[in-house]
Amino acid sequence: CSASSEGISTSRMVDMDSMSDVLASGLQRAGCLALHPAIDRAQPAVREFVHGVSACGVLYALLAAAGRAGVDGLPALFGRVGCAERRALRALLAERRLVEERSLRAESVLLSAMRALPIWEVHSGGDGGERAGGSADGEVGAFVSLELGVHSLAPPNTDLGLLSGTFVRCDADGEESLLRLLGVQQVGRSRFYRDHVFAQLGSLPAAQREAATLSMLYE
C-alpha cells in the first residue's frame, strides 16, 4: 500500500481496465489518468508508475492529482464529479477496507485523504453540504468532506426526519465500518434527544412530535 517508489508516489495514473465505467469516469473527472488498454500490464515499468485498483492506489492517485495542495486540495478536484461517480468511489473504499484496513491504518495521510474527499452523503437537514448532480435522472445529492467532532452516525433505527445535515448517511454495506475507521462516532440515543431533538420539537409536524416525545419517554 505504501507509495515508496518516487515514480508511483507522484503518479496520478490508474489501471482502470477492470473498473466500472462510472468509477473510471469519476476518477478521470477528478484528475486521475487511465492507463491505455493497449499497454502490456506485465511490464515492470507499469508497476513503477501505475496504481492498481485498490483503496490505497486510488487515494495516492488522487493525492498526486491534488499536487502540492495535498489533502487540502482534494475537495476542489470534485467540482465536475457527479452523484453516481462519488457513490462508486465510496463503495470501492468501503469494499476494499476489508482487505486493506491494516495498510490504511499504517498510512495516516490516506485516512486524512478519505475524510477530505467530498463523497460522504449527509441527511437533508442543516446546511446540506455541497450539491452534486450527474446521475442519469438528474438526481442531486448532498455531499461533504468529513469533519471529526462535527459529523456523526445517528443511533440505530432513528426517525430520518429528525436527522440534520451533521449526520452521515450509510446506505451501502461496509460504509458504517469505513466511517468508524475514519473516526466518525455514533451518537448515543440520550445525547441525540438532548442535543438534536428537544430544540426542534416545536417545529415538528404533530405526528412526528408525538412519536419523538414517546420515544424519549421510553428511553
pTM value is 0.83
Please name the residues in contact with 51: beta carbons below 8 A apart, sequence gap of 6 or more.
8, 11, 13, 14, 15, 57, 58, 60, 61
In this structure, the strands spanning 130-132 and 141-144 are antiparallel
CB 23 within 8 A of CB 88: yes
Spell out the per-residue pLDDT of the chain, length 219, in tens: 656 556 688 899 999 999 999 999 999 999 999 999 888 888 888 888 999 999 999 999 999 999 999 999 999 999 999 999 999 999 999 999 989 999 999 999 999 999 999 999 998 754 445 544 444 334 445 899 999 999 999 888 887 777 888 899 988 889 999 999 999 999 887 777 777 665 565 555 555 555 555 555 455
